[in-house]
Structure 1
Amino acid sequence: MWPFSRENRAKAPESSAMPLEIDAKSLETRDSIENQNIPVSAENFLAYFGIQSLNLPAITIDSALAVPSVWAAVAFLSRTLAALPLHAYRDTKDGPKQLTGRLESLLHDAPNPEQGSFKFRQWFWQQVFTGGRGLAWIERTPQGVDSLWPMDPTKTTIQRRGGRVFYQFGDPQHPVKEYPAEDVIDIPFMLWHDGLRHYGPITMGSKAIQLALAMNDYGSNFFAGGGVPPLALTGPLPAGKDAMLRAQADIKRSVDAAKNANEPVFPIPPGYELKPVGIDPAKGQMIEARRFQVEEIARIYQLPKVFLQDLMGATFSNTEQQNLMLVQHLVGQWAEAFEDELNLKLFGRHGGGGKYVEHNLDGILRGDFLARMNGLGQAVQNGLLTPNEGRALDNRPAMENGDKLYIQGATVPLGSNIAKPGGTPPANDNKPNEAKAA
């Protein structure tokens, strides 16, 4: 186990995380099929498909991930945040300077001997976007911070004693060890009012995920049956249970034979009739309902739905704006939360001699090649970046004489470039009088 390389452990207590349980409500009323005024967002919409909410299973993390939009949201967010470059810096009189050595290696390369930085952070963010909390403990040595080790939130109990917060962590094979809050990196999706327990996106969005799962099951069962809905046999049915079962078996064989032979019709005894039971998925707004559930799950994670591969209504311009919104209002906020935890827990409340940790969001803010080159060119020409700093943003090697700041020489004081009447060039007030006369 990751965090037990130097510790002895025992059976762990129960987790303080919220259980993934769905409270059953009163039985829903099934409205008339002919009523077309029920929107796909109605709570009892699945009643049209013969599904009652009481029959739906409780949502777990594993079952929720079987919904493609949930899987896409968790995978996209965890990978995006894990891929952000993470570095340690120190403030100097000449500006921020990137650190080298153990701390930089721990953050950017490998936080512990068993995981690289991407793998560790991807696992960490997966816990945030499924169960609702990411945890990792800090291993310290006399030389400073040595490693960051992941903690399974389901095997962690969080307590407050004497105004201080402690984390108890272990598993059935190892004894429990207690960690003070200053030694634990803790990112909750959303905290309870007590400041200890948390809300998880899958738990709080369980109803929307239930609907998506139910429609997945309905669709797979419908098409697995060859698109044939449940049928009712009407007519002069023979008396007796055995005769009824034989009639049912005969009809089933006829349907299966027609389906296997790709025949559009199949025979039934004269005087009998087959009628579909339930509602046509098209009339029941099945496609619209499934699309609506993608939107609901995008809302749970505050994701623009284009990142769940839903391009309905997408254009070049609004997709680009959604990309900016993703960075400004989602990825940037989670990156800030992670930076705050690292800075507080690694360097203390008052900092560590000007040291701090920060992500580089430049990579996911990049536009197309032409726009990026124009932006870098303007930054170099206006003295914001040196040519080598601009090259470094695209991982290009530094060049000789590329460490100087440049600025356009055509910029002059207002009015100095206006010619006098008669075509006389403007005077240069910065030159001596003799020069002006000459």
Structure 2
Amino acid sequence: MAIKDWFSRPNSGKAPETRTTIENPTIPVSADNFLAFFGINSANLPAVSIDSALTVPSVWAAVAFLSRTLAALPLHAYRDTKDGPKALTGRLQAIVHDAPNPEQGSFKFRQWFWQQVFTGGRGLAWIERTPQGVDSIWPMDPTKTTIQRRGGRVIYQFGDAAHPVKEYPAEDVIDVPFMLWHDGLRHYGPITMGSKAIQLALAMNDYGSNFFAGGGVPPLALKGPLPASGEALKRAQADIKRSVDAAKGAGESVFPIPPGYDLTAVGIDPAKGQMIEARRFQVEEIARIYQLPKVFLQDLVGATFSNTEQQNLMLVQHLVGQWAEAFEDELNLKLFGRNGGGGKYIEHNLDGILRGDFLTRMNGLGQAVQNGLLTPNEGRALDNRPAMENGDKLYIQGATVPLGSNVAKPSATPPANDNNQNDGTQAA
């Protein structure tokens, strides 16, 4: 069955890999079991899965921001010619720029693809070919794909118990991993590798929710001469609880307790535990997982106009540009082969997210035109403006004349403002 026939996720993931402790292949290699082997009990932190990790606002923001940003980059097909790169038209351009398959537009397909990279750690897509060439590109669910090396060649097995397994050679699969293992097949995922930081963020979310759901009242201990019997102790506890609930329900800050008793808070006060500071630090930790400037996670603490602008440049140069190159590299290799397909190639246009404010952009385009880097029509095209007549010549600063034209030689007639008299002698 073809990939395009189904997209649903499996109900459960793969069975955990088993190995010996260090030498014995019967103990699962997971943090909890590994620590238990040495007699250490791990902290009672919530389990991390892709779905639970996405409930952390900073993880959600990172995945959504990066996937949408990379999906929104214009993607075009070109051919190298003796006159420079030329944009292609036809089927190939429609696949990479408009719709890679009949069911998904380019933005939707690429957003889904990058979501897999920034959650599970790998984006996969299958290239459907016909005798006429590339027909479509279909998404592959990484959780239903097994990668093997067989006879020196990489094979992708796609399917599960409910669907027949099909095999695809590496040359027909677009594969962008977050980071590869030492074997070159398996991969590291950002949520898996950052699970401890995400666990802490989940625990603080849960604690904050429970604390404020309880009206901001922490767990309390009742001190004083406690009743001897268990039933009497339970009644005293119930009385105190009813008093607290009644005070919260009435919006009162004072509630009665029996004479001779005292209530003491149990646990750490969120303010003393630096809960707000810790939650802010978790935003920084998750930004580090994705190598993302924290200003793009809506954390503007310490941000200024100048350093925010620099972070925007850093985002393009050191993050978006690198992932765009990884995707281009896969497309060019798998669509055109090692020989390049007669000079054809796929490339993103990063110009859109490098744009500054209007005045800076106009000054930059003006300098590019005046110094012979862009024709006026090329500069207009960058802002989606229509071409103008006589706008396809390069100009150079000076007299701002077309390149290659004959510049007029100085006239032998003296200029009118040389302060000479009519007879040629200099005026006194």
TM-score range for the pair, normalised by the shorter chain length: 0.7 to 0.9
**For each residue in 1:44-96, what CA deviation from the matched residue of structure 2 results, as whole angstroms up to 9, or x when unmatched?**
xxxxxxxx843223210001001000000000000000000000000011110
Q: Are the structure 2 counterparts of residues 431 and 370 from structure 1 closer, same or farther at C-alpha, using a change threshold of 3 Å? A: closer
Where 1:270 maps in the other structure, the secondary structure is coil
Determine which of 115, 119, 126 is the counterpart of 1:126. 115
Partner of 2:31 in structure 1? Answer: 23
Q: Are the structure 2 counterparts of residues 142 and 280 from structure 1 closer, same or farther at C-alpha, using a change threshold of 3 Å? A: same
What TM-score does the superposition give when structure 1 sets the normalisation length?
A: 0.85
Aligned equivalents of 1:338, 1:17: Cα separation in 2: 30
Does 1:288 pair with 2:296? no
Does 1:369 pair with 2:358? yes
Give 1:26 shift: 4.8
Where 1:135 maps in the other structure, the secondary structure is strand
Give 1:23 shift: 1.1
Q: How many aligned residue pairs are there? A: 393
Identity %: 84
Partner of 1:3 in structure 2? Answer: 3
Partner of 1:86 in structure 2? Answer: 75
- Give the CA RMSD over aligned residues: 2.7
Give 1:431 shift: 6.8
Partner of 1:202 in structure 2? Answer: 191
Aligned equivalents of 1:115, 1:306: Cα separation in 2: 31
Partner of 2:294 in structure 1? Answer: 305
Which blocks of at least 5 consecutive residues in structure 2 are unaligned? Answer: 19-27, 402-406, 415-423
Aligned equivalents of 1:324, 1:282: Cα separation in 2: 37
Aligned equivalents of 1:365, 1:388: Cα separation in 2: 20
Give 1:408 shift: 2.1
What TM-score does the superposition give when structure 2 sets the normalisation length?
A: 0.87
Q: Are the structure 2 counterparts of residues 13 and 165 from structure 1 closer, same or farther at C-alpha, using a change threshold of 3 Å? A: farther
More displaced, 403-412 or 74-83?
Answer: 403-412
**For each residue in 1:339-370, what CA deviation from the matched residue of structure 2 results, as whole angstroms up to 9, or x when unmatched?**
00000000000101100000000000000000
**For each residue in 1:155-208, what CA deviation from the matched residue of structure 2 results, as whole angstroms up to 9, or x when unmatched?**
000000111000000133321110000000000000000000000000000000
Partner of 1:163 in structure 2? Answer: 152
Determine which of 266, 270, 275 is the counterpart of 2:259. 270
Partner of 1:354 in structure 2? Answer: 343
Higher relative contact order (CA 8 A, sep 6+): 1
Where 1:55 maps in the other structure, the secondary structure is coil
Is the Cα contact below 8 Å between 2:76 and 2:97 reproduced in 1?
A: yes
Determine which of 207, 210, 214 is the counterpart of 2:203. 214
Aligned equivalents of 2:75, 2:2: Cα separation in 1: 22
Partner of 2:23 in structure 1? Answer: none
Give 1:285 shift: 1.2
Q: Are the structure 2 counterparts of residues 13 and 66 from structure 1 closer, same or farther at C-alpha, using a change threshold of 3 Å? A: closer
Where 1:175 maps in the other structure, the secondary structure is strand
Determine which of 241, 254, 257 is the counterpart of 2:243. 254
Aligned equivalents of 2:172, 2:362: Cα separation in 1: 43
Q: Residues 397-412 of structure 1: matches in 2 within 5 Å? A: 397-410=386-399
Which blocks of at least 5 consecutive residues in structure 1 are unaligned? Answer: 28-51, 413-427
Partner of 1:56 in structure 2? Answer: 45
Determine which of 123, 126, 131 is the counterpart of 1:137. 126
Is the Cα contact below 8 Å between 1:73 and 1:301 reproduced in 2?
A: yes
**For each residue in 1:296-342, what CA deviation from the matched residue of structure 2 results, as whole angstroms up to 9, or x when unmatched?**
00000000000000000000000000000000000000000000000
Q: Are the structure 2 counterparts of residues 17 and 243 from structure 1 closer, same or farther at C-alpha, using a change threshold of 3 Å? A: closer
Is the Cα contact below 8 Å between 2:98 and 2:105 reproduced in 1?
A: yes
